[in-house]
Amino acid sequence: MRHWILASTLVLSTALTADATPRAEGLLTAIGADKMIELMRVEGLEYGAGLADDMFPGRGGDRWEKMVSDIYDVDRMMATFIDGFATSFDEEYFAPVEDFYASEIGKEVVALELATREAFLEEGIEDAARDAIPGFEENRPETFAKVAEFIEINSLIDENVIGALNANFAFMTGLSDGGGFPTDLTQNQILNDVWAQEAEIRQNSTEWLFAYLLMAYSSLPDEDMEQYLELSRSQAGQALTRALFEGFDDMFVEISRDLGIAASQFMAGEEL
């Protein structure tokens, strides 16, 4: 699965669900909601195309594309995410988070994160950013250290790994439930298979996060980055990160299970 959660640019669509409070709606808009979910949909469509090539080449066609498009529906993704976020974020933490993202620094952080995520959609950009990591550590050690601290404070590597493992487990479960394997698999068999991927996922997640965040924050002054770190260290910042991870984990588990069920139909030769 793709890396799905970054830092603070965690987002929704142009219209939040009725269950979202106006205050939550305003906060999620401030941190870049509508644009990010659109980018995640584009990433999802690309991932779906690659999945077909790997698992059932030549048998997907328009029907598979339509199924993937429906699974990565913006409103559907948003509804699942906002539900997880809203049940996890305590109202007492709104004010400091709102203040940061209303500031010029907060707005700049969101703009940089979104621009980098969009740039990664272009062929070769992500690979170039990964290749640049050693040079960044050598030539700009202070910026590299701040990004490393940001990743550690927010537990981004561990949370990305957990999210990817959960999503992969959901995908395999959907694939099994849909009859995509010759024999039924037990949950323990699926769990063992997924857990065997942990080391590879961890390495890839670490490289991706450093590549993404170093590119995103390379033009952010050190003093501004320090203010961002201060938010991350605070109880409010930690609460925001936990709630965002909760929402995105729910969202990608749902997406992944549905992808597994859909893929099983083509693997079994039962195109709808």
Name the region of 10 (left: φ>0; alpha: ψ -120 to 50; beta: rest): beta
Domain membership of residue 72 (yes or no) is yes
Domain membership of residue 176 (yes or no) is yes
State the pLDDT at residue 7.
39
Domain membership of residue 5 (yes or no) is no
Domain membership of residue 17 (yes or no) is no
Domain membership of residue 4 (yes or no) is no
Residue linked to tokens 């707005």: 107
Q: Residue 26: give the domain boundaries.
A: 22-267
Dist CA 169 CA 176 (whole Å): 10
Per the structure, the count of domains in the chain is: 1
Domain membership of residue 164 (yes or no) is yes
Q: Which tokens in the block code for residue 67?
A: 């199924």
Dist CA 73 CA 137 (whole Å): 39
State the pLDDT at residue 220.
96
**Which letter, b or e, does each residue of 163-184 get, where b requires 16 or more Cβ atoms within 10 Å of its Cβ?**
bbbbbbbbbbbbbbebebbeee
Domain membership of residue 6 (yes or no) is no
Reading the chain (272 residues) residue by residue, the pLDDT tens digits are 344 333 333 333 333 444 457 787 788 889 987 788 889 999 999 999 999 999 999 999 999 999 999 999 999 998 888 888 888 999 899 999 999 999 999 999 999 999 999 999 999 999 999 999 999 999 999 999 999 999 999 999 999 999 999 999 999 999 999 998 888 889 999 999 999 999 999 999 999 999 999 999 999 999 999 999 999 999 999 999 999 999 889 999 999 999 999 999 998 754 44
State the pLDDT at residue 22.
77
State the pLDDT at residue 269.
53
Domain membership of residue 2 (yes or no) is no
Global model pTM greater than 0.85: yes
